[in-house]
Structure 1
Amino acid sequence: MPDDPHGYRTPARMLHWGIAAAVLLMIPAGLVMTREGLDRGLQDTLFLFHKNTGVLLLPFILARLAYRLRHPPPPLPASVPGWQRRIAGLSHGLLYVLLIVMPLSGFVRVRAGGFPIELLDALGAGPWLAKSETLAGAAQSLHAAAGFALIALLALHLGAAAQHALILRDGVWSRIWPPRAPR
């Protein structure tokens, strides 16, 4: 399947959709796992999923950012107004910041709280941080605030994507959607 000259390259598209799928699973897991009165087995499963997926996700997020810096996105269609271009640039930058802050703050919260991250423990990575309730609490606050900011920004991102795909049909959506094989 060749790359579309007006769209993102295939590695960028694959990283985008893989990260998007993981994040869209992580958000409800993170919101549900901290609820009071939740079945302990379900809660433990959600914590395991959330912590370990966060650890796995960070290298992919960093790879996506590095790829984007090396291979800038294709230009937006001329029909996209300047103010939308600026908002798109700002929102993408903020998405990357939040996508990096989330796993790092989660890692610090868990490790400074004295809890395991099973995947790293199985690899013999060690805790890397001393136990500190103060640091764990600060990281937990940052993780929660960044999480709600990420949810809001993703809602904006998804709304803009839907507008371009379903209403404007201006080619913006097809730039990131996986390219179709030639018929």
Structure 2
Amino acid sequence: MTAVPRYSTPAIVLHWLVALLIFVAFPLGLYMADLPLSPTKLKLVSYHKWIGVTVAMLAALRLVWRLTHEAPPLPAAITGWERRLSAVTHGLLYVLILVIPVSGWLMSSAKGVQTVWFGVLPLPDLIGKDKALGEQLGELHEALNYTMLALVVLHVAGALKHHFIERQPFLQRMSLRG
């Protein structure tokens, strides 16, 4: 049996940790957005921000790791268009994983609500208070999140297609169990 080329353990851990945090932050953002202003909503917004800042930091670390460590080669059976689609999808996911938290931070800054990581570390406002800009940034933040959702669905569907339909060892590439 041939060994499956796998990502490194740090890459795998960062991948799944970032994915888990996003899978918590996205539905939390949807849920809290329509809540009336209350102590509960403020608490949930804080949790959402904490997750977002953490995602941004882990994503930056993940990007540095990825730029300094080669990904395992794709199986030879992957066609040229699939390779290009994979590269574009992964590139856009990296961009969005970094840009979405920044867009949320910009939105909070424009709305005049400081981001305080884990309630302990106040982060500087990135821009001055501007209610209209805050609303526009909120719309941008939402659009970016839905774009990422579409890309995540494409990413997962591709991995499952290759693994279950084409019987290529895609899931093992990102598994801690070799």
TM-score by length of 2: 0.89
- CA RMSD in angstroms comes to 2.0
For 1:168 and 1:45, how far apart are their aligned partners in 2? 45
Structure 1, 51-60 or 171-180: larger mean CA deviation:
171-180
> What one-letter code is carried by the residue in structure 1 that aligns with 2:8?
R
| 2:31 corresponding residue in structure 1 | 32
| 1:158 corresponding residue in structure 2 | 156
Partners of 1:111 and 1:127 within 8 A in 2? yes
Partners of 2:115 and 2:123 within 8 A in 1? no
Corresponding residue pairs, total: 176
Unaligned segments of structure 2, at least 5 residues: none
> What one-letter code is carried by the residue in structure 2 that aligns with 1:85?
R
| 1:176 corresponding residue in structure 2 | 174
For 1:5 and 1:36, how far apart are their aligned partners in 2? 47
| 1:138 corresponding residue in structure 2 | 136
Percent identity between the aligned chains? 34
Partners of 1:120 and 1:126 within 8 A in 2? no
Deviation at 1:148, TM superposition (A): 0.8
| 2:66 corresponding residue in structure 1 | 68
**Cα distance change on mapping 1:15 and 1:130 into 2, 3 Å:** same
Unaligned segments of structure 1, at least 5 residues: none
Deviation at 1:140, TM superposition (A): 1.3
Partners of 1:108 and 1:135 within 8 A in 2? no
Q: Helix, strand or coil for the counterpart of 2:81?
A: helix
Deviation at 1:17, TM superposition (A): 0.4
Q: Helix, strand or coil for the counterpart of 2:125?
A: coil
For 1:74 and 1:88, how far apart are their aligned partners in 2? 13
For 1:36 and 1:51, how far apart are their aligned partners in 2? 16
Partners of 2:111 and 2:131 within 8 A in 1? yes
2:114 alignment partner, one of 116, 129, 132? 116
| 2:5 corresponding residue in structure 1 | 6
Deviation at 1:91, TM superposition (A): 0.1
| 1:106 corresponding residue in structure 2 | 104
**Cα distance change on mapping 1:153 and 1:83 into 2, 3 Å:** same
Partners of 2:35 and 2:41 within 8 A in 1? no
**Cα distance change on mapping 1:28 and 1:125 into 2, 3 Å:** closer
| 2:83 corresponding residue in structure 1 | 85
Cα offsets for 1:22-50 (capped at 9, x unmatched): 0011110111111255x945433321211
Deviation at 1:128, TM superposition (A): 4.2
